[in-house]
Amino acid sequence: GNSVTQMEGPVTLSEEAFLTINCTYTATGYPSLFWYVQYPGEGLQLLLKATKADDKGSNKGFEATYRKETTSFHLEKGSVQVSDSAVYFCARPGAGSYQLTFGKGTKLSVIP
Amino acid sequence: NAGVTQTPKFQVLKTGQSMTLQCAQDMNHEYMSWYRQDPGMGLRLIHYSVGAGITDQGEVPNGYNVSRSTTEDFPLRLLSAAPSQTSVYFCASSYGTGRYGYTFGSGTRLTVV
């Protein structure tokens, strides 16, 4: 099926630390891949996306590279801030392509 | 730029009551979906629509009805609320298939007692 698997949380980092949140996807075709972010009490916001192999999505200092060889789309940021504290979701189009299939989310807490 | 608007933001229901969660988008998007978010479960698709008059079931449709009479609106109806429907509900829309990603509303937090 069309699924994504992301690392379990929660993740707690100190400010300015390096962040990696792992995400792998099932390799049915070449789907678009997404990272969404959910700040406390809010809905999901699209953080970045990549539509084909070797594409790099980037936004707000976050990056993720579409790796066909390893079926991965890991989220990285070189120096996290307290304001990055949120839940991060990896996603891909689901069956029929009309909806998204999400990972279970990774909660990130950044402490000063 | 309203995007996707959901109402209400919070709701408490008694078991057996019915209600409608409203969702409206002003981006002329063809595709709309309803998800529920539960701790440890991520987001699960309830129902979706690919255009006015066309709806289909997602992963967890039982206990919910939808209709799509206009492009803008996609209400979700709870027929007889149960405690298992306590959740946060998100409506989302897209101008294309899932390939382009979705724009989400801010959610409705529903508690069924």
Instruction: Name the A residues in 74-103 with CB < 8 Å from any B CB.
Output: 89, 91-94, 97-100, 102-103
Lowest mean pLDDT among A25-29, B72-76, B107-111: A25-29
A44 touches chain B (CB under 8 A): yes
pLDDT digits (tens, 9 = 90+) for A2-50: 788 998 889 999 999 999 999 999 867 778 899 999 998 888 999 999 9
> In this predicted structure, what is the pLDDT of residue A76?
98
> In this predicted structure, what is the pLDDT of residue B2?
73
Strands (E), B1-113: 4-7, 10-13, 19-25, 31-38, 42-51, 54-57, 64-66, 76-78, 87-94, 103-104, 108-112
- Categorize the per-residue pLDDT at B21 as very low, low, confident or very high, splitting at 50, 70 and 90: very high
Q: What is the mean pLDDT of chain A?
A: 91
Q: What is the mean predicted confidence (pLDDT) over B27-46?
A: 90
Cross-chain Cβ contact B97/A93 below 8 Å: yes
Chain A residues with CB under 8 Å of B48 CB are 98-99
Among B54, B99, B103, B109, the strongest candidate for a mutation testing the A interface, having the largest count of A CBs within 10 A, is B99
| All residues at 6 or more sequence positions from A80 whose CB lies less than 8 Å from its CB, including other chains | A13, A15, A16, A17, A18, A19, A108, A110
Cross-chain Cβ contact A98/B31 below 8 Å: yes
- Categorize the per-residue pLDDT at B97 as very low, low, confident or very high, splitting at 50, 70 and 90: low
The distance of B34 to chain A (nearest Cα, Å) reads 10
A51 touches chain B (CB under 8 A): yes
Cross-chain Cβ contact A97/B99 below 8 Å: yes
